[in-house]
Structure 1
Amino acid sequence: MSEETSTLTGQDLPDVRDWPTLDLDGTEFDPILADLMREGPLTRIRLPFGEGWAWLATRYQDVRAITNDPRFSRTAGMTRQVTRIAPHFSPQPGSPAWADQPDHNRLRKTVAGAFTVSAMKRLRPRAQEILDPLVEGVLREGPPADLVERVLEPFPVAVICEVMGVPAADRERMHAWAAQIVSTKGGAEASAEAKKGMFGWILDTVRARAHSESDDVYSLIGSAVRRGEISEAEAVGLAAPLQIGGEAVTHNCGQMLYLLLTRPELMARMRERPAERGPVLDELLRYIPHRSSVGLARIALEDVDLHGVRIGAGEAVYVSYLAANRDPDVFPSPDRIDADRDPNPHLSFGNGVHYCTGAVLARLQIELLVETLLDRLPGLRLAVPADQVPWRRRTMIRGPRSLPVTW
């Protein structure tokens, strides 16, 4: 279908909109995405890298429909230079992020047991043991302190490394690799070098644990490779996104704490009604712009009609979970933080087959971080004016670069 082709209703297709990756401060919603949401349920976008244009779906029901529809394939995008946010494009064969059914379930089954609700309940005391010394160190040294450096970075790194089975001696370089992979700084070369280091470490570890009877994730994956259930390439593709997941917790929680620290009424609510913190955290998860732009594209395997528009076979389609979380048909007054919002069916962890494997783990860490910091640091407040908090630049995951606080 060419850019001049008309829709099924005889109307012209929407113009292709350039969508640069903006460096935004605070929790400001991307103004370009806001414009695209107003322009229609389906628009067309061109991102900074890759080739051509892609459809963008922003309405809640459309996002859910597309992410549950097997006619839209992630796998078909592995060999396509579609328009994209990242300067580098090297999809890892075997990664569940790029897998369609039934391969996706086959791969995910290997590690699913390590991320269940019951497994996270067993992990919670150990995670608290990891967190407590970090907070005690902050208290011992006194204010001011950078929460990102002292707590929000080391805690998720330590927890995911614990779950995965990364030895303490290797955790610092694993974190450095992960941080570079989710950044757009340094371009394709820096990303490729980080992936080479991480992927090589993963492969060596999976091979070494082929006969391990431990329950860490690398042992589970190594055993699956030995049994012939997944290949070594699939083992690397399966493990790497899980290993990188701690980066998202750091920056998402940074945004949530920034909102609490800049909205006294919200902080008071969390302190005065601790039993009701869960719904507030859900609302903050819905509200925060947890990423820049969009994630991975899907490719239409056949013509699909949506809202009177024909998405042609072979065309790329993106969904925006950020936009879906601000759909006024599902979330009244979506640009307002409503601590009593009920129901709150946000899509912050994705939807459909590609729903985040580590969602329960991420939620556990966010709960522990917020609850422990609020309970152990009475009077917690920013140590600088809100507009002086520095934010990450040239990144795929948004968040404060540092969070200076006092108490």
Structure 2
Amino acid sequence: MIEDTATRPLLGPPPVRHWPALDIAGTEFDPVLAELMREGPVSRVQLPHGEGWAWLVTRYDDVKAVTNDPRFTRAPVVDRQVTRLAPHFKPKRGSLAFADQPEHNRLRSAVAPAFTLRGVELLRSRAQDTLNEMVDELLADGPPADLTARILEPFPIAVVSEVMGVPAADRERMSAWTRQIVSSSGGAEASARAKDGMYGWFAEAIRSRYGSTEEDVISLLGAAVGRGDISEEEAIGLVGPLQIGGEAVTANTGQMLFLLLTRPGLLERLRAEPDVRPRAIDELLRYIPHRTAVGLARIAQEDVEIHGVRISAGDAVYVSYLAANRDPEVFPDPERIDFDRTPNPHVAFGHGPHYCMGGLLARMQTELLIDTLVDRLPGLRLAVPPQEVPWRRSTLIRGPEALPVAW
């Protein structure tokens, strides 16, 4: 917990632990993160790239406190080579991910209409139709099939592209750029080329929609730039991460289905008890190791004490939502998947001002995918032994590279 530094003696800093980029197959929890959690609530880590070390906060209450505390800010990270997982670091100025208040609210308001509960629910019927068409084709072709290639990748691309306003003819190119950006395997040059291609495309699209009254994201941004509410640079910085968000749905649902297919009792319960599915999705979101290591750092703007450890002004600080979701003080028996867990206040979509803007959209897509695949593919099973399912390597977002199934 965050305390007044005068209330208790300060402890010495913990040792700096090297945290390598692990390629973990399956849904195993990162063993280095598990060790750090056992060692204490506040650690110091050095990731494979960048400079120096950073603090790591893992307890649920502390993660929520740091992410909602204006003394820990994102904007200064843009100008620093904070120790990090990715070999390349080229943030776009104006990016919502690196904005602090009040700039964060100003930027977020430009695209918020596309991500309201009402807006997402209006999209649900069209998204279901799109998914039904994909499943119809899958059934017509028959088993076996790669569920990732046939459903889990193209469906989120189609949905997020509709929300963004990306024409169908450009969606495959957008998907290729996205895959390269979230992978670290191609190095800095390949990632930079992909970012330049994506952001160049968005720049032209935004310029073409000044004065638009449509409610897709590109039109909203074009209109906002046209009114002078935000700059073109800010609009481009906003749009890329929103487009990339569809990749997370592919990886997350891939992990969920792998878990269900390797624990048939869980899958059978979803078939037999449809009413349990909303709780089940929350529990799966809590449980899956969504990403490799940690995401974006924050910088302390003044000295802050957490659990007797002084974090000095200027220090980099990471939080781990994965660790927070396994905190036994909040989630009893956290290693067990419990569809009856209630309450389940997981932080899979983040917390505080940087709570995932696309969280409602991601949740809606996840619900449609789980419901449709469970109901329409009776006898769904892996077509290969679990150990032969290939997993993404050298990537920031964890998930199966392919999911071979039969039914």
- Give per-residue Cα distances to partners, 1:139-164, cap 9 Å, x unaligned: 00000010000000000000000111
Using the TM superposition, give the Cα deviation of residue 130 of structure 1 relative to its aligned residue in structure 2, in angstroms: 1.0
For residues 224 and 10 of structure 1, do their structure 2 counterparts lie closer, same or farther at Cα, with a shift above 3 Å needed? closer
**Residue 180 of structure 2: aligned partner:** 180
Q: What are structure 2's unaligned runs of at least 5 residues?
A: 1-7
Amino acid paired to 2:203: L
Number of positions where the alignment pairs a residue of Structure 1 with one of Structure 2: 401
SS in 1 for 2:79: coil
- Give per-residue Cα distances to partners, 1:270-325, cap 9 Å, x unaligned: 00001220000100000000000000000000111111111000000000000000
SS in 1 for 2:228: coil
Question: Does 1:286 find its partner at 2:283?
Answer: no
Amino acid paired to 2:310: R
- Give per-residue Cα distances to partners, 1:348-374, cap 9 Å, x unaligned: 000000000000000000000111011
For residues 18-167 of structure 1, the aligned pairs below 5 Å read 18-167=18-167
For residues 371-386 of structure 1, the aligned pairs below 5 Å read 371-386=371-386
Contact 2:11/2:310 (8 A) holds in 1: no
**Residue 401 of structure 1: aligned partner:** 401
- Give per-residue Cα distances to partners, 1:75-115, cap 9 Å, x unaligned: 01110111001001111100110000000000000111111
Amino acid paired to 2:376: R
Q: Distance in 2 between matches of 1:79 and 1:129?
A: 45
Q: Distance in 2 between matches of 1:211 and 1:80?
A: 37
Q: TM-score, length-normalised on structure 2?
A: 0.97
**Residue 216 of structure 1: aligned partner:** 216
For residues 227-376 of structure 1, the aligned pairs below 5 Å read 227-376=227-376
- Give per-residue Cα distances to partners, 1:355-400, cap 9 Å, x unaligned: 0000000000000011101111111011111111110000000000
- Give per-residue Cα distances to partners, 1:18-62, cap 9 Å, x unaligned: 001100011000000000000100000000000000000000000
Amino acid paired to 1:73: T
**Residue 3 of structure 1: aligned partner:** none
Q: Distance in 1 between matches of 2:304 and 2:80?
A: 19
- Give per-residue Cα distances to partners, 1:198-221, cap 9 Å, x unaligned: 000000000001122222110000
**Residue 4 of structure 1: aligned partner:** none
Contact 2:270/2:277 (8 A) holds in 1: yes
Q: Distance in 1 between matches of 2:109 and 2:13?
A: 41
- Give per-residue Cα distances to partners, 1:127-186, cap 9 Å, x unaligned: 011111111111000000100000000000000001110011110100000111111111
SS in 1 for 2:299: strand
Amino acid paired to 1:189: E
Q: What are structure 1's unaligned runs of at least 5 residues?
A: 1-7
Amino acid paired to 1:211: G
**Residue 170 of structure 1: aligned partner:** 170
SS in 1 for 2:294: coil
Using the TM superposition, give the Cα deviation of residue 264 of structure 1 relative to its aligned residue in structure 2, in angstroms: 1.1
Q: Distance in 2 between matches of 1:380 and 1:372?
A: 12
**Residue 3 of structure 2: aligned partner:** none
Q: Distance in 1 between matches of 2:10 and 2:361?
A: 48
Q: Distance in 1 between matches of 2:227 and 2:11?
A: 55
Amino acid paired to 2:353: V
Q: Distance in 1 between matches of 2:201 and 2:212?
A: 17
Question: Does 1:13 find its partner at 2:13?
Answer: yes
Q: Distance in 2 between matches of 1:276 and 1:310?
A: 44
Using the TM superposition, give the Cα deviation of residue 10 of structure 1 relative to its aligned residue in structure 2, in angstroms: 5.5
SS in 1 for 2:17: strand
- Give per-residue Cα distances to partners, 1:213-232, cap 9 Å, x unaligned: 22211000000000000000
SS in 2 for 1:136: helix
Q: Distance in 2 between matches of 1:11 and 1:289?
A: 31
Contact 2:12/2:309 (8 A) holds in 1: no
Using the TM superposition, give the Cα deviation of residue 11 of structure 1 relative to its aligned residue in structure 2, in angstroms: 3.8
Q: Distance in 2 between matches of 1:329 and 1:319?
A: 17
**Residue 196 of structure 1: aligned partner:** 196
Using the TM superposition, give the Cα deviation of residue 9 of structure 1 relative to its aligned residue in structure 2, in angstroms: 3.2
SS in 2 for 1:78: helix
Using the TM superposition, give the Cα deviation of residue 12 of structure 1 relative to its aligned residue in structure 2, in angstroms: 2.7
SS in 2 for 1:364: helix
Q: Distance in 2 between matches of 1:275 and 1:334?
A: 23
Q: Distance in 2 between matches of 1:256 and 1:360?
A: 18
Contact 2:10/2:309 (8 A) holds in 1: no
Q: Distance in 2 between matches of 1:171 and 1:391?
A: 24
Amino acid paired to 2:211: H
Q: How much identity, in percent, do the aligned residues show?
A: 66
